[in-house]
Chain A
Amino acid sequence: MTEFFQTLGMTYEWAWFTSTIAGILLIALPLMLAVAMIIYVDRKIWAAMALRRGPNVVGPLGLLQSFADGLKVFLQETIIPSASNKALFLLAPIITFTVALMAWAVIPFNSGAILADINVGLLYVLAISSLGVYGTVIAGWSSNSKYPFFSAMRASAQMISYEVSIGFILICVVLWAGTFNMNGIVLAQKGHVLGLFNGFVFNPLLFPMWVMFLISGMAETQRAPFDLTEAESELVAGYQTEYSSMSFALYWLGEYANVLLMCALNATLFWGGWLPPLDLPVLYLIPGWLWLFIKIFFFFFVFSWVKATVPRYRYDQLMRLGWKVFLPVSLLFVVVVSGYLMATGHFGGHSA
C-alpha cells in the first residue's frame, strides 16, 4: 500500500505513515463489526444449545441485536463511583479495548496481507497478551470495591499462570517453524504432514500442544469454563461490577475481540492460517482470507460450544490444571520436540 501512496506524490516516509494508518483502520473497523456480529452468533449458539431461540426480534433473524444493544449503552449515563480513583477507573476499559486491538497487527490475513511483518511477530503477540491483565487489575483496584478487587486478584493469578504454559507451547511451534515471523510460521505449515496436510495440528507431536493451547486460550481470555473473574454467583460481575454504559461496553467489545484473537492464533499457529487445510491446488482457488475466516469462525463455535456445555471450574482446580498439568506437560514437549528435531537434523525449520 505504501507504493500506492507514493504514486500520489508523497515522500516514502509519509506514504508509509499514511498506509499504516489506513491498514490499521482496515483491520480495526471490520474487526469491530465482526465483534458486534460474533456477540450475536455467540448468543444464538448458546441459545440453540439450551433449546431457546436467542435474539430474534431486532432486524431480520435478530441480526441487528448487537447494534441495538450498542445504541442502548451509548445513550446510558456513565456512573463513576465517588470513592473510585477516577483517572484509573476510566483508563482501565480503554487499556483492555486497546490491547485487544493491538495484537491484530501481526496476524497474516493472506500471503503478504499483514500490517506489521516483523520478525518477532510471535513474541509481540506474547508481549501484548501479557498486557491484557492490566485492564482487569486496574479496574478492580480503582473501583474501590471488594468484589472487583477479588476479581482483579483472581485475574492476575490466572492470566500469569496460563501465560507460562502458552509460552512453552509457542516455543514448540517456533522450534518446528524455525521463525518467529507469523507469516513464516504459516508458510512452514504448508504440506507439513505427508506433503498433503497444511497445519502443525496434523503432526502427532504438536497435536497435544494444540489441545493445550485451545484450553489455555480459554483461560487466558477468561471465557467459560474459566470465567472465575466474573463468576456471578460469587463476585456479582467481578471487575466490571462498578462499570456502566460505554465503559462497560468497552470491556464487552475488548473481551470478544480477545476471543476472536485467540481463535485467529489457533488458526494461524496450528491450523495453517490462510492456507487451505489440504495442500491441493484446487483449494487455493478460494482466497486465503476466506480460509482464515472459516477457521476463526469454527474456533469461535468451539469456544461457544464449551461455554454452553462445561460447568465453571473451581479456583483451585484452575490453578492445578495450569501449574500441575499444563506446565509439566508443555515443558516435557519442549524437550521431546527439540530432541526429535535434533535427532532428525531438521533443526531450525530447515534440514541442516
Chain B
Amino acid sequence: MIQVIAFYLFAALTIAAGAFTILSRNPVNSVLWLIVAFFNAAGLMVLCGAEFIAMLLVIVYVGAVAVLFLFVVMMLDIDFATLRAGFIRNFPLGMLLALVILGELVIGVGAYRTGALELGTADGTAAPAPGASNIEAIGALLYSKYLFLFEAAGIVLLVAMVGAIVLTHRQRGGVRGQDVARQIARRPDEATVNVKPEVGKGVQL
C-alpha cells in the first residue's frame, strides 16, 4: 500500500517537474524543477531497490551538475525575447532529438522484454546473488567483467578533464600571488634590520 502510494507520488512528481522544467519561463525556475525531477527519480530508484544508483543520482546530478547549471543560469543576463526567437529555428533539431530518445526507449524496452541481461563474472561464474548489497554487486561486476570498459571510461574522463583545464587555463602577468612556503620560511632576523641612526641623519634602506 505504502509502496504503491510512494511510487505514484514519485512518478507523478517526476513527470510534473519534468513538464515544468520545459514550461517555466524563468531559466532558474527550470533548473530548480529539474532538481525536483532528479530527486523524485532518485526516489523511484530507491523503490526498485537500486539505492546506490539513487544516491549517485543525487550526489552527481543534484550535488554537482545542477549546481553548475544554476551557477551559469543565475549569472546570465537573459533576454527572453531572443530566447523565444530561436524556438522555430531550433524546432526541427529538438524534434530530431526527441525522436532519437523515443527510439532508444523503445529499443531499451524491447531488449528488456527479450530476457534479463546475463550479468556474470569474468571467470564464468554466475552473477552475484540478489541478496548482496548494491555496492558489492556493482563492484564485483565492474571490476571483473567490465574492467577494461570501466578503465576506458576513466581515461576518457581524464582526457576530457585535462582538455577542459588546458582550454580554460590562462597565464596572466603581473599577478602578485601568495607564496605560502616563502612566507613561512621567513625569519625575523632576515626580514628586519636593526639600525641606530645618528641624530639628524636618515637611514639608507
Binding site for B on A (CB under 8 A): 13-14, 16-17, 85, 88, 118-120, 123-124, 126-127, 130-131, 133-134, 137-138, 141, 149, 152-153, 156, 160, 163, 180, 316-317, 320
- Quick one: which of A16, A88, A124, A137 contacts B67, CB cutoff 8 A? A137
- Quick one: which of B28, B64, B71, B180 contacts A320, CB cutoff 8 A? B180
22 interchain pairs, CB-CB under 8 A = A14-B2, A16-B2, A88-B29, A119-B133, A119-B135, A120-B51, A123-B56, A124-B55, A127-B55, A127-B63, A130-B59, A131-B62, A133-B63, A134-B67, A137-B71, A152-B74, A153-B71, A156-B70, A156-B71, A160-B64, A180-B135, A320-B178
Q: Is B55 a contact of A130 with CB atoms below 8 Å?
A: no
Indicate whether B32 reaches chain A with its CB closer than 8 angstroms: yes
Q: Is B74 a contact of A137 with CB atoms below 8 Å?
A: yes
Contact flag A130-B178 (CB < 8 Å), given A119-B51, A120-B51, A123-B52? no
Residues of A contacting B51 in the complex (Cβ-Cβ under 8 angstroms): 118-120
Q: How far is the CA of A17 from the CA of B135 in the complex (A)?
A: 27
Indicate whether B17 reaches chain A with its CB closer than 8 angstroms: no
Residues of B contacting A134 in the complex (Cβ-Cβ under 8 angstroms): 35, 67, 70
Closest to B70 in A: A137
Q: Is B134 a contact of A88 with CB atoms below 8 Å?
A: no
Q: Is A120 a contact of B178 with CB atoms below 8 Å?
A: no
Contact flag A138-B63 (CB < 8 Å), given A120-B52, A316-B178, A317-B178? no
Known: A124-B55, A134-B67, A134-B70. 7 other contacts (CB 8 A): A13-B2, A16-B2, A120-B55, A123-B55, A131-B63, A141-B74, A153-B71
Residues of B contacting A133 in the complex (Cβ-Cβ under 8 angstroms): 63, 67
Q: Closest 4 CB pairs between A and B?
A: A130-B63, A127-B58, A123-B55, A119-B133
Indicate whether B167 reaches chain A with its CB closer than 8 angstroms: no
**Closest approach, in angstroms, between the C-beta of B4 and any C-beta of chain A?**
10
Q: Is A123 a contact of B67 with CB atoms below 8 Å?
A: no
**Closest approach, in angstroms, between the C-beta of B55 and any C-beta of chain A?**
4
Residues of B contacting A127 in the complex (Cβ-Cβ under 8 angstroms): 55, 58-59, 62-63
Contact flag A126-B59 (CB < 8 Å), given A88-B32, A119-B51, A137-B67? yes
Q: How far is the CA of A153 from the CA of B75 in the complex (A)?
A: 9
Residues of A contacting B71 in the complex (Cβ-Cβ under 8 angstroms): 137, 153, 156
Q: How far is the CA of A50 from the CA of B63 in the complex (A)?
A: 38
Q: How far is the CA of A120 from the CA of B134 in the complex (A)?
A: 9
Q: Is A141 a contact of B134 with CB atoms below 8 Å?
A: no
Contact flag A156-B135 (CB < 8 Å), given A126-B59, A141-B74, A320-B180? no
Q: How far is the CA of A156 from the CA of B75 in the complex (A)?
A: 13
Residues of B contacting A88 in the complex (Cβ-Cβ under 8 angstroms): 28-29, 32
Contact flag A130-B64 (CB < 8 Å), given A88-B32, A137-B70, A317-B178? yes
Indicate whether B1 reaches chain A with its CB closer than 8 angstroms: yes
Q: How far is the CA of A133 from the CA of B62 in the complex (A)?
A: 10
Residues of B contacting A130 in the complex (Cβ-Cβ under 8 angstroms): 58-59, 62-64
Residues of B contacting A149 in the complex (Cβ-Cβ under 8 angstroms): 74
Residues of A contacting B2 in the complex (Cβ-Cβ under 8 angstroms): 13-14, 16-17
- Quick one: which of A13, A123, A316 contacts B59, CB cutoff 8 A? A123
**Closest approach, in angstroms, between the C-beta of A155 and any C-beta of chain B?**
10
Q: How far is the CA of A33 from the CA of B15 in the complex (A)?
A: 39
Q: When each residue 180-194 of chain B gets 1 if its CB lies under 8 Å from chain A and 0 otherwise, what string results?
A: 100000000000000
Residues of B contacting A138 in the complex (Cβ-Cβ under 8 angstroms): 32
Closest to A125 in B: B55
Q: Which residues of B32-84 have CB atoms within 8 Å of chain A's CB atoms?
A: 32, 35, 51-52, 55-56, 58-59, 62-64, 67, 70-71, 74-75
**Closest approach, in angstroms, between the C-beta of B101 and any C-beta of chain A?**
26
Q: When each residue 1-35 of chain B gets 1 if its CB lies under 8 Å from chain A and 0 otherwise, what string results?
A: 11000000000000000000000000011001001
Q: Which residues of B110-168 have CB atoms within 8 Å of chain A's CB atoms?
A: 133-135
Q: How far is the CA of A100 from the CA of B41 in the complex (A)?
A: 22
Q: How far is the CA of A127 from the CA of B29 in the complex (A)?
A: 22
Q: How far is the CA of A141 from the CA of B29 in the complex (A)?
A: 11
Residues of A contacting B29 in the complex (Cβ-Cβ under 8 angstroms): 88
Q: How far is the CA of A180 from the CA of B2 in the complex (A)?
A: 26
Residues of B contacting A123 in the complex (Cβ-Cβ under 8 angstroms): 52, 55-56, 59
**Closest approach, in angstroms, between the C-beta of B184 and any C-beta of chain A?**
13
**Closest approach, in angstroms, between the C-beta of A91 and any C-beta of chain B?**
9
**Closest approach, in angstroms, between the C-beta of B74 and any C-beta of chain A?**
5
Residues of B contacting A316 in the complex (Cβ-Cβ under 8 angstroms): 178
**Closest approach, in angstroms, between the C-beta of B196 and any C-beta of chain A?**
34
Q: How far is the CA of A163 from the CA of B63 in the complex (A)?
A: 10
Q: How far is the CA of A192 from the CA of B141 in the complex (A)?
A: 30
Q: How far is the CA of A163 from the CA of B28 in the complex (A)?
A: 23
Q: How far is the CA of A332 from the CA of B48 in the complex (A)?
A: 36
Residues of B contacting A163 in the complex (Cβ-Cβ under 8 angstroms): 63
